[in-house]
A and B are shown apart, each in its own frame.
Chain A
Amino acid sequence: MKNENLIQYIYGIADNALILGQRLSELCGHGPNLETDIAGTNMALDLLGQTRSYYQYVAQLSGEGTTEDDIAFLRTERQYKNVLLVEQPNTHFGYVITRQFFYDVFHLLLLQELQNSKDETLAAIAKKGIKEVSYHQRFSSDWIKRLGDGTEVSHSKVQEAVDNLWKFTDELFHTTEDDKVAIKSGIGVDVTQLKSAYYEKIKAILEEATLNIPDHKWFRKGGKEGIHSEHMGYLLSDLQYMQRTYPDMKW
């Protein structure tokens, strides 16, 4: 397997953590109450920490003095390989929790497989991440149940979020050409194999939360190939502003 394939494969995982971490970070100080605010930023910190481990590894694979910051801040939109789900903008708390829940369930399944990767660095990052993501999944699942099985207003808001975000879930199981090369060499996880476990888990929790499971069959994808939704440009302009304006600035 060529380095370039491996790098692209890692972007497919790491960029999700970066972009979701960025979305959660935007909420720092804006949570509905202190505890959920702190929980959101804690999860953002875990995700950005995981992102750093992946990017440090990519920097090492790339050589030529590449740093983790170059990778995080200086790529153009189409070079980011995150799924559309994680870049969707923050609206209300029920929406933020649903986006988190849809990703956490996938994330945990993915890391549980990635820990067996033939690439020992990826396996180590995954093992570390599993411990953190288990907490994330517990948090978002609990809130799905509380909001779904809560008041009329919370129920309808979270149902609307589930209906709205459902169309982004299928992309989690899309495999790119680079993914296929990584899977073949025993480094990558074949995500198509995780699909039934994913929907089983999602459905069980939605049912417990007295929420309807959407039945629409139309799904959106593109992010994993670098084709993003209109929200991505705004997110990146926020994320990249300092490095673009003051190149190589340090804290």
Chain B
Amino acid sequence: MIKVSGLTKDYGARRAISNLNFDAQQGEIVGFLGPNGAGKTTTLRILTGYMPPTDGEAIVAGYDVVEESIEVRKRVGYLPETVPLYTDMVVFDYLKFMGDLRKIPNVESRVDEVLDMVGLTDRAEGYIGNLSKGMRQRIGLAQALLHRPEVLILDEPTIGLDPGQVVEVRELIREIGKERTVLLSTHLLNEAQNICDRVLIINQGKIVAEDTTENLQARLIGAERVVIRVRGEADDLAKTIQQVKGVQGVETKPDGAVEFEFSSGKDLRPEVAKKVIGSGYDLLELRPLGMSLEEIFLELTGPDNKKK
């Protein structure tokens, strides 16, 4: 459904993305991960027909994004990063307007349908300007779903939502992704893990890794990091933990917790727990820290990686 080859975009002298190659099949949810300024939004904008690439080719739903831009736009649902909305419009009227632009038959009943999908039926008559950020996000999503697009492109779809809504929206995306192609960008690894079949990691305009979420994690996570908290002094605790063989990178945090890590595959948590309790501490918390995207990036692009 999406096929990108050699995609390059320059903003003046600055190269935003360089020679990207990837594809996405029907019924696949592909995550696009990267830090700010990595080129995620630029890539998505090219795929939606918003701007043409400097070089390379992108085929979306069977049409070229430059040559047959209108055909591509008919088949793509797009949720931009900032969720631009007409704040002086009523929710229903706004969605009806977007539906009219896409020439949806029986647009009014379809608007009711998508409002129900994103759980905003009771706000249909309210002004967009009076809605919270999370609700606006959901209106943006409703707008992207209106015309039952073959390809759904979502730029940071769960940003600004409260945890309950995040779960709902992810559920919705997963549902849509069963039949359609979904390409979403995020900088949350757990989000990618949660909903994506496949992940592309992009940094400085280049794809640095592409794999299924499980493989990626197994490959990238060389060490597991754990946070531990006890009743008592963190500094003394750090010294105690240090004595356990295999423990590395012990760090005391300002809030009194201590973090440490060990090579993955060799879980040292039981030993650390025994040691801590044996030393007379009251253990309050022992919890693994998920590896953040930033850490994956350090792993992929940092100096250690280059040495290998």
Task: Tell me if chain B binds chain A.
Answer: no
Interface residues of B (CB under 8 A from A): none
Interface residues of A (CB under 8 A from B): none
